[in-house]
Amino acid sequence: MTTTEAVADQPDAVAATDTPGKPAVLVNGQPFTKLPDDLYIPPDALEVFLEAFEGPLDLLLYLIKRNNMDILDIQVAQITEQYMEYVRLMESSQFELAAEYLVMAATLAEIKSRMLLPRTTEAEEEEADPRAELVRRLQEYERFKKAAEDLDELPRMGRDSWSTNVQPPDFERLQAHPDVDLKDVLTALSEVMRRADRYEKHQVTEEALSVRERMSEVLAMLSPERFTPFVALYRVSEGRLGVVVTFMALMELIKESLVELVQSEPFGPIHVKARLASDTD
């Protein structure tokens, strides 16, 4: 955390910030452009904290970038001096410094002293750069800090977007039944005839099938309260003759307005139901 102290000890401090033709401050409706001569402002009257650091490594990275230094070639003496200024400033502001800040200050002092010691050529070749460990820690911290910043820029639920739950209104859909076309009836009849062919027998027998009797049977199978599939009225085991008789009986019932055909959708299955007595009237 760095601190900038702003001390207004000049009488013309307010006037310096005034834009031409417009006073900076109005007191009782009158322009106020000059501080009183007997006004005393203590040196530590205003302290503005501009930066917040998460630890000593964060502070070191800030100082390195502010001085436009390469992280691989740190000017330890300059960085140490600025770091110690920060530590002294925080102590004077009655802030409790964490132990890690003090440990880093000691580490910088050690590196600075080792850099200042005279060394021979052989010693330089054998001894590693005293800044190497600090540089490694700074590079690792910088990578993790950059990753954390990238993650923080991602959209976050509750910060950048919010979930909502909207229920659609209830609509009652009324489906209009289309008129049954004769072509659809014939198509359904052909399907029944095709199925009846599977039960075709070559036994010559007298089959007594009456259209009137089949009309009664069909009416017994139907009800005004329910729909009966068109194909369910046929007994394919009777062969083509039985299918034709049932179809003729159904056509007679429709002609006499005793039954009606219903189709729920175009090209859909056809259903049959008996008509009420009131409907037939």
- Residue 66 phi/psi, 5-degree rounding, is -65, -30
Highest mean pLDDT among 159-168, 203-212, 254-263: 254-263
Q: Which one, of 55, 76, 57, lies nearest residue 131 by Cα?
A: 76
Greatest Cα pair distance in the chain:
136
Q: Is the CB of residue 228 less than 8 Å from the CB of residue 222?
A: yes
- Which domains are delineated in the chain? 3-148 (no CATH), 182-280 (1.10.10.580)
pLDDT at site 93: 64
55: left (phi over 0), alpha (psi -120 to 50) or beta: left
Tally of CB atoms within 10 A around 215: 21
pLDDT at site 228: 86
Kindly state the average pLDDT of the residues 252-273: 86
Answering whether pTM is above 0.75, one says no
Assess whether pLDDT exceeds 80 at residue 165.
Answer: yes
14-71 pLDDT tens trace: 334 444 555 557 777 777 777 777 776 666 555 544 456 778 888 888 888 888 888 8
65-90 pLDDT tens trace: 888 888 888 888 888 888 888 888 77
